[in-house]
Structure 1
């Protein structure tokens, strides 16, 4: 099934060569840990793939060889990694397939999960709720002034929180992914990763560096936490483990300095896509995943 990708824009693709040639963060890989050996399959979206983090090894999916699956596999030593994560992916891309950033058709990510797979990680759901559109809408609404809550007003108009409704609607889709993974690899350990903090865990953000209105910051923070809570609950209900990457990312949000942040802002200062993890963020998520596996 070929569908438009939520992440794809001509500007981002044009910036790829420049970003890949940029300065690489000095990040220490996570220490060796007791990780299931054997076949490791990584499923997920751009937060797994690592778009624009050098070195990009798959331009169709904007996938980096310094993303957290690569770091975890390296720490395990003998793990055989099949990383099929892809920028823009939704739950449908895992189950039925789609196309990459270059429009090249892709099989279902699930097809990489085989009966002998020992570990499967899944980070999905952000694009199902419309992550890119939400960030774009909220930033555009706040470009001229940080006052008020234009984003919240839009998404809660009429008395219904559209974003919370999207999260609720995504839960059964994530459950379907986990059940399908379990059917394909009955003996595998399945770990669902949440998403790291994009905005500060308290306060009202840092407009205009991150152009989100002051009163919209708590609202969007609540949406992010609700998404992670849904992922944790869905994992628990479907024979999977949840890896919390939000808590260790607190204090490393987009408002922090370029040498501290895990997630870049609207104008990245480290090689990464806007509002996506940089190499430090991928390493932080790898550490959180390894801690969960232990």
Structure 2
């Protein structure tokens, strides 16, 4: 049985409705390596497991979209804001604190004929303890959505537990014209702590292993797909923009290294527990520096993408849904 875990205080990790804190949850999730595919224990393929922007996701007319009967009758989506949010104009209802969007990847995946009933338990700001315990008033434990009939689970969790807020608050200090403070050496200040947190959350015997065990107990027949964090910053400085140019070179590079470590750890943990992880890829830049009609994430949010600041766009959420469909 999953025992609720205590939150480890490493800085601000809780999503609020303010753009500043929304930004603090996500900037470090940048692409940092060439595309990789990994084979899970069941032989399925995880796309782009280290988060590169090279390759092409499966279109909506792919294998799942062609099936006449649902292959997955009971789908449950678990996770944080990278699974919950999308186009802010398309509310999916549920607790207001969760900010679920009809344009998030669970709802986009549910549009495939092969996927039937969706229970979207995702919630912005979620951490691992919120899977087994109530995140806030009116938000039940996400595991409550699981039962023995659940046959498909997607999981996006761990980013807030390793301190996205702390990381981004550090690397962006002094980067904006309105911030008169001097930039910080984030690698020196936070590198050891962040590495330790990644190990504690995703390492062998860590918190995420308890999550997978709990899912297996509650939904023993379910296919489980972990989703990595969509790229925010471009893969190289050549594809940069004013926002990334405002960061110090060392902080930008350190953030990319942290992003690699997080996404690699998500992938390692999924495989260790007999599952796979996915991340959509593209042969053109899809970062938040890309044109608005091509980007999968957005630095500032609002028009024209109507994404939350520092979060996936509706286009990015569709790409994630397509990557999941390709994997299952």
TM-score with structure 1 setting the length: 0.81
8 Å CA contact 1:32–1:76 kept in 2: the answer is no
Stretches of structure 1 that go unaligned for 5 or more consecutive residues are: 14-28
C-alpha distance after superposition, 1:101-146 (max 9, x if no partner): xxx332210110110100001011111112233223322232259x
- Does the C-alpha gap of structure 1 residues 126 and 249 become closer, same or farther in structure 2, counting only changes over 3 Å? farther
Deviations 1:173-205, CA, capped at 9 Å, x for gaps: 211111100111111101111111111112277
What is aligned with 2:132?
Answer: 95
Aligned partners of 1:183, 1:51: CA distance in 2, in Å? Answer: 30
1:219–1:128 CA distance, 2 compared to 1 (3 A): same
**Is it true that 1:258 corresponds to 2:272 in the alignment?**
no
- CA shift at 1:77, angstroms? 5.0
**What corresponds to 1:66 in structure 2?**
103
Distance in 2 between residues matched to 1:141 and 1:161, nearest whole Å = 22
CA distance in 2, matches of 1:221, 1:290: 27
Residues 38/285 of structure 1: CA separation in 2 closer, same or farther (3 Å cut)? same
The 3-state SS of whatever aligns with 1:176 is helix
Moved more, 267-276 or 81-90: 267-276
1:48 and 2:83 matched:
yes
- TM-score, length-normalised on structure 2? 0.73
Q: Specify the alignment match of 2:255 in structure 1.
A: 220
Secondary structure of the corresponding residue to residue 209 of structure 1: helix
1:181 to 215, 222, 225: 215
Alignment correspondent of 1:157: 189
Normalized per residue, the structure richer in helix is 1
User: How large is the Cα RMSD of the aligned pairs?
Assistant: 2.9
1:8 aligns with 2:16: yes
Structure 2 residue 68 is matched with structure 1 residue 36 = no
Matched residues in 1 for 2:242 and 2:163: separation?
23
Query: Separation in 1 of the partners of 2:200 and 2:115?
Result: 38
Partner of 2:277: 242
Task: Please tell me whether the aligned partners of residues 198 and 263 of structure 1 are also in contact (alpha carbons under 8 angstroms).
Answer: yes
Question: Residues 250, 178 of structure 1: CA spacing in aligned structure 2 closer, same or farther, 3 A cutoff?
Answer: farther
